[in-house]
Amino acid sequence: MGQPPISKWEVLTKGSLIHELLHHLTDVDLHIISMKKEQLQTEEEMYQRGVTAYIVKENGEYELLLDKCENYLIKGIYFQAVATEFTNGVFKAELKGKETIIRIHDGKADLVQVDLVK
Protein backbone atom coordinates (compact mmCIF):
# COMPACT_ATOMS: atom_id res chain seq x y z
CA MET A 1 0.00 0.00 0.00
CA GLY A 2 1.24 3.47 -0.67
CA GLN A 3 0.30 7.11 -0.74
CA PRO A 4 2.14 9.74 -2.73
CA PRO A 5 3.47 12.69 -0.77
CA ILE A 6 0.77 15.32 -0.50
CA SER A 7 0.83 19.04 0.13
CA LYS A 8 -0.92 20.78 3.02
CA TRP A 9 -3.53 21.93 0.48
CA GLU A 10 -4.35 18.32 -0.36
CA VAL A 11 -4.54 17.33 3.30
CA LEU A 12 -7.02 20.20 3.84
CA THR A 13 -9.13 19.42 0.80
CA LYS A 14 -8.97 15.64 0.59
CA GLY A 15 -7.73 14.40 3.94
CA SER A 16 -4.94 11.89 4.36
CA LEU A 17 -5.17 8.13 3.94
CA ILE A 18 -2.46 7.64 6.57
CA HIS A 19 -4.31 9.75 9.16
CA GLU A 20 -7.54 7.87 8.46
CA LEU A 21 -5.81 4.50 8.89
CA LEU A 22 -4.14 5.53 12.13
CA HIS A 23 -7.48 6.78 13.43
CA HIS A 24 -9.45 3.59 12.63
CA LEU A 25 -6.94 0.72 12.96
CA THR A 26 -5.10 -0.69 15.92
CA ASP A 27 -2.13 -3.07 16.06
CA VAL A 28 -0.97 -2.05 12.59
CA ASP A 29 2.54 -1.09 11.46
CA LEU A 30 2.85 1.61 8.82
CA HIS A 31 6.06 2.10 6.86
CA ILE A 32 6.43 5.48 5.18
CA ILE A 33 8.85 5.88 2.29
CA SER A 34 9.72 9.38 1.11
CA MET A 35 9.58 10.43 -2.53
CA LYS A 36 11.01 13.38 -4.40
CA LYS A 37 8.89 16.55 -4.38
CA GLU A 38 9.24 16.91 -8.15
CA GLN A 39 6.71 14.09 -8.48
CA LEU A 40 3.99 16.09 -6.76
CA GLN A 41 1.25 17.72 -8.81
CA THR A 42 0.87 21.42 -8.24
CA GLU A 43 -2.47 22.76 -7.07
CA GLU A 44 -2.94 24.40 -10.46
CA GLU A 45 -2.61 20.99 -12.18
CA MET A 46 -5.12 19.30 -9.84
CA TYR A 47 -8.05 21.70 -10.25
CA GLN A 48 -9.64 23.66 -13.05
CA ARG A 49 -9.93 27.41 -12.87
CA GLY A 50 -12.43 28.49 -10.19
CA VAL A 51 -15.98 29.60 -10.96
CA THR A 52 -18.57 31.35 -8.80
CA ALA A 53 -20.84 28.78 -7.17
CA TYR A 54 -23.41 28.44 -4.41
CA ILE A 55 -24.24 25.89 -1.74
CA VAL A 56 -27.95 25.39 -1.10
CA LYS A 57 -29.86 23.05 1.18
CA GLU A 58 -32.31 20.76 -0.60
CA ASN A 59 -34.00 17.71 0.91
CA GLY A 60 -31.69 17.75 3.92
CA GLU A 61 -28.52 17.76 1.80
CA TYR A 62 -26.14 20.54 0.85
CA GLU A 63 -25.80 20.77 -2.91
CA LEU A 64 -23.51 22.75 -5.17
CA LEU A 65 -25.12 24.99 -7.79
CA LEU A 66 -23.15 26.61 -10.58
CA ASP A 67 -26.08 28.69 -11.85
CA LYS A 68 -26.89 32.03 -10.24
CA CYS A 69 -29.09 31.47 -7.21
CA GLU A 70 -30.93 33.88 -4.90
CA ASN A 71 -31.66 31.54 -1.95
CA TYR A 72 -28.19 30.20 -1.17
CA LEU A 73 -26.52 29.40 2.15
CA ILE A 74 -22.95 30.03 1.04
CA LYS A 75 -21.47 31.83 -1.98
CA GLY A 76 -17.92 31.04 -3.00
CA ILE A 77 -15.60 29.71 -5.69
CA TYR A 78 -15.73 26.10 -6.91
CA PHE A 79 -12.61 24.36 -8.25
CA GLN A 80 -13.41 21.15 -10.12
CA ALA A 81 -10.88 18.32 -9.95
CA VAL A 82 -9.15 17.82 -13.30
CA ALA A 83 -9.11 14.01 -13.12
CA THR A 84 -12.91 13.61 -13.12
CA GLU A 85 -15.92 14.41 -15.25
CA PHE A 86 -18.18 14.41 -12.20
CA THR A 87 -18.82 17.37 -9.91
CA ASN A 88 -15.91 16.65 -7.58
CA GLY A 89 -13.55 19.25 -6.22
CA VAL A 90 -13.33 21.92 -3.56
CA PHE A 91 -15.44 24.95 -2.71
CA LYS A 92 -13.69 27.94 -1.17
CA ALA A 93 -15.57 30.65 0.70
CA GLU A 94 -14.97 33.25 3.39
CA LEU A 95 -17.09 32.48 6.44
CA LYS A 96 -16.95 34.27 9.76
CA GLY A 97 -13.85 36.12 8.56
CA LYS A 98 -11.93 32.91 7.77
CA GLU A 99 -11.19 31.23 4.46
CA THR A 100 -12.97 27.87 4.47
CA ILE A 101 -12.51 24.91 2.15
CA ILE A 102 -15.42 22.48 1.70
CA ARG A 103 -15.01 19.20 -0.18
CA ILE A 104 -17.52 18.52 -2.97
CA HIS A 105 -18.29 14.96 -4.10
CA ASP A 106 -20.85 14.23 -6.83
CA GLY A 107 -22.31 17.72 -6.46
CA LYS A 108 -22.88 17.36 -2.71
CA ALA A 109 -21.05 19.41 -0.10
CA ASP A 110 -19.47 17.67 2.88
CA LEU A 111 -22.33 17.89 5.39
CA VAL A 112 -20.07 17.93 8.45
CA GLN A 113 -17.96 20.77 7.08
CA VAL A 114 -20.99 22.90 6.18
CA ASP A 115 -22.58 22.35 9.61
CA LEU A 116 -19.34 23.42 11.29
CA VAL A 117 -19.23 26.75 9.47
CA LYS A 118 -22.90 27.70 9.83
- Residues 26-41 have pLDDT tens digits of 777 776 666 555 544 5
Say how many Å lie between the first and final Cα of the chain, rounded.
37
Co-location of 28 and 64 in the same domain:
no
d(CA 36, CA 109): 33
d(CA 114, CA 103): 9
Is 76 within the bounds of a domain? Answer: yes
Strands (E), the chain: 51-58, 61-65, 74-80, 89-95, 98-105, 108-109
What pLDDT sits at residue 57?
Answer: 87
pTM of the model: 0.55
Q: Tens of pLDDT along 90-102?
A: 889 888 788 888 8
Co-location of 64 and 97 in the same domain:
yes
38, 31 Cβ separation under 8 angstroms: no
d(CA 30, CA 62): 36
Co-location of 40 and 51 in the same domain:
no
Co-location of 33 and 54 in the same domain:
no
Co-location of 20 and 70 in the same domain:
no
What residue numbers bound the domain in which 85 lies? Answer: 47-117
Co-location of 51 and 108 in the same domain:
yes
Q: What percent of the chain has pLDDT over 90?
A: 5
What is the block-wise mean pLDDT of the chain (118 residues), using blocks of 10 residues? 62 71 76 57 65 88 88 89 78 85 87 57
Co-location of 28 and 84 in the same domain:
no
d(CA 33, CA 13): 23
What pLDDT sits at residue 39?
Answer: 46
Is 3 within the bounds of a domain? Answer: no
Number of domains in the chain: 2
d(CA 23, CA 104): 23
